[in-house]
Amino acid sequence: MSAASTITVDGKQISLPVKSGTIGPDVVDIGKLYAQTGAFTFDPGFTSTASCESRITYIDGDEGVLLYRGYPIEQLAEQGDFLETCYLMLFGELPTPGQKADFDYRVTRHTMVHDQMNRFFTGFRRDAHPMAVMVASVGALSAFYHDSTDITDESQRMIASMRMIAKMPTLAAMAYKYSIGQPFVYPKNDLDYTSNFLRMCYAVPCEEYQINPIFAKALDKIFILHADHEQNASTSTVRLAGSSGANPFACIAAGVACLWGPAHGGANEAALKMLMEIGTPDRVDQYVAKAKDKNDPFRLMGFGHRVYKNYDPRARIMQKTTHEVLKELGKHDDPLLEVAMKLEEIALKDEYFIEKKLYPNIDFYSGITLKAMGFPTDMFTVLFAVARTVGWIAQWAEMIEDPSQKIGRPRQLYVGPTKRDYVGINDRG
Ligand code: SDX
C-alpha cells in the first residue's frame, strides 16, 4: 500500500488509500468516497477506472507490452501452443510435459457437444450471422450441462471451464457448416486443438481432409494472440454477469454478445470490409481523409486502441503471420495486403494519427490472414470468441474465487426531470 491521497469535496477533505500493483499504475481506492462525501466518481467508458485486482494479463499501452501471467506474448506465440496458453491462463504457471499431456487429453475429450444441439442449430436461418448463432448456442450449453453450473462448487467450475474451452471450436465449426449447408463434422481425438477445428470447418464426408500445418500453426498463433487482454469490454461484461452468480455458460454468452460490436471484436470483420471497400492503394488517401474528418463518422477499422498508444504488439506478430500464410498460398501480391500496407504507411506518417496515437491493432491484419485461409468475413469474430473464451473463463474464475467479490452495481449522475405529479390523460395538452 503506498501513501494515501487526499480529495476535497464540497469543502470536506478526506484521505483515500493508494494501492500499488507489482507493475503498472497505482490505484486510488475510492470505496469509501460516497460514504464519506456523498459524491460518486464519474468515469463513463472507464478511461481512468480499475474495476478489479488481477494476476492474469498485464498491458503497458505506452510501451506496447502484453504479458500473460508475466510471460511476453511474443515468446508464448513463437514457442508455445494455444492449449499451453490456456493452461497458463487457468493455473498461472506453464505446464510440465506431464501436465500438458493431461490437459490436452482432458480438453480433447470435452470437444463433442450434446447431440441435441444439432437440432438446436436447425432452428436458425441459414443466413443468420454466425455470431448470432454463437450467442445463442453458448448460452444454450447451460440447458444441457446442469452438472457444471453450480459456481460454488470448485470441481463444477473446472469442468465448466474445460467444457467451454473445448466446445467453442465445435460450436464455431457447426455455425460455419450450417451457414454453408454442409453436414456437421465431429471432432477427432487424435488431432490437436487447432487442427481439429480446421477439420471440423473444412472436411466433407466425401474425402479425407488434409490439414495444412502452416495454416494450423498460423491459426494456433492467432488464438494465442487473442486469448486475453485484461479488462476489455467483453471480459468486463463476463465479470459483471458472473458477479450476479449467473452460470459460466450464460456469462460467456454475454461476453460473446459484447465482443460482436465493431468497436471491439467485430473490428476484424469491419477492417476487412473497409480494405475491400478501399479496394486499391490509390484510394487509400481519400479514406484517410474521411477518417480525419470530424464531420464524417468513418473510422479506420483496425486502428486505435483504448490502452495501446503505441503499436499493438499482437499486430506486429499478426503482420508476420499474414506474410507466412500468404507465402504458403503463393499470394505475394494480395491486393488487400497491398491496401493494408499502404494504409499503414500513410497513417503512421500522418500528423492526425501520430497526435492521437492511433496505431494498427490486432484486428488490422487478422482479417487478411483469416480470409486467405478461407474463412468468410462473418466468421472472423467467431474465431476471436473461440480464442478469447479462455481469457473470459480465467477472469471469471478469478472473480468468483476473490473473497472480496460482490455484485457489480455502478451508480450514475442523474440529469433527468425532478419529482413531478402525474397528470391524467384527459388533462394533458
Ligand atoms: C479490440 O480493449 C481491448 O483490449 C480490446 C481488444 C481486446 O483484445 O480485447 O484489444 C480488441 O477491440 C481492438 C480495437 C478494435 N476496434 C477498432 O479497430 C475500431 C476502430 N477503433 C476505434 O473505434 C477506437 O480506436 C477504439 C474503440 C478502439 C478506442 O476508442 P477510445 O479509446 O474510446 O478512443 P476514442 O474513441 O475516444 O478516440 C480518441 C480520438 C477521437 O478523436 P477526438 O474525438 O479526440 O478528436 O481518436 C479518434 C477519435 O475520433 N479515433 C480514430 C480512430 N480511433 C480513434 N479516428 C480515426 N480512426 C480510428 N480508428
What is the DSSP pairing of strand 2-9 with strand 12-19?
A: antiparallel
333 a catalytic residue = no
305 a catalytic residue = yes
The pLDDT of 172-194, averaged and rounded, is: 97
Which residues on adjacent β-strands are paired with residue 2?
18
Phi, psi of 18 (to 5 degrees): -110, 130
Q: What is the predicted pLDDT for the residue at 248? A: 96
CA distance 407 to 405: 7
Among 254, 253, 240, 237, which residue's Cα sits nearest to residue 141? 253
Q: Chain-centre distance of CA 83, in angstroms? A: 17
For the ranges 113-122, 143-152, 200-209, the lowest mean pLDDT is seen at 143-152
For the ranges 95-109, 136-150, 160-174, the lowest mean pLDDT is seen at 136-150
Maximum CA pair distance of the chain?
A: 78
The atom number, within ligand 1, closest to the CA of 271 reads 18
pLDDT for 242-259, tens place per residue?
999 999 999 999 999 999
The pLDDT of 89-101, averaged and rounded, is: 98
pLDDT for 295-330, tens place per residue?
999 999 999 999 998 889 999 999 899 889 988 888
User: How many angstroms separate the alpha carbon of residue 307 from the centre of ligand 1?
Assistant: 9
For the ranges 254-263, 331-340, 406-415, the lowest mean pLDDT is seen at 331-340
What mean pLDDT, rounded, does the chain reach?
Answer: 94
The catalytic position among 81, 305, 312, 334 is: 305
User: How many angstroms separate the alpha carbon of residue 300 from the centre of ligand 1?
Assistant: 9
**Ligand 1 in reach of 269 Cβ (< 6 A):** no
CA distance 52 to 33: 17
What DSSP state is assigned to residue 191?
S
The atom number, within ligand 1, closest to the CA of 234 reads 9
**Ligand 1 in reach of 263 Cβ (< 6 A):** yes
Residue 369 cell numbers, joined:
490472414
The pLDDT of 279-306, averaged and rounded, is: 93
Mutate to test the pocket of ligand 1, among 288, 358, 388, 395 (most ligand atoms within 8 A of CB): 358
pLDDT for 125-158, tens place per residue?
999 999 999 999 999 999 998 888 888 899 999 9
Instruction: Give the CA-trace dihedral at 344, 345, 348, 352, to 10 degrees.
Output: -90
**Ligand 1 in reach of 229 Cβ (< 6 A):** yes
pLDDT grade, residue 176 (50/70/90)? very high
pTM of the model: 0.94
Question: 48: which residues sit within 8 A by CB, 6+ positions away?
Answer: none
Q: What is the predicted pLDDT for the residue at 213? A: 94
Mutate to test the pocket of ligand 1, among 300, 356, 384 (most ligand atoms within 8 A of CB): 356
Task: Say what percent of the chain tops pLDDT 70.
Answer: 99
The catalytic position among 228, 312, 334, 363 is: 363
pLDDT grade, residue 2 (50/70/90)? low
**Ligand 1 in reach of 359 Cβ (< 6 A):** no
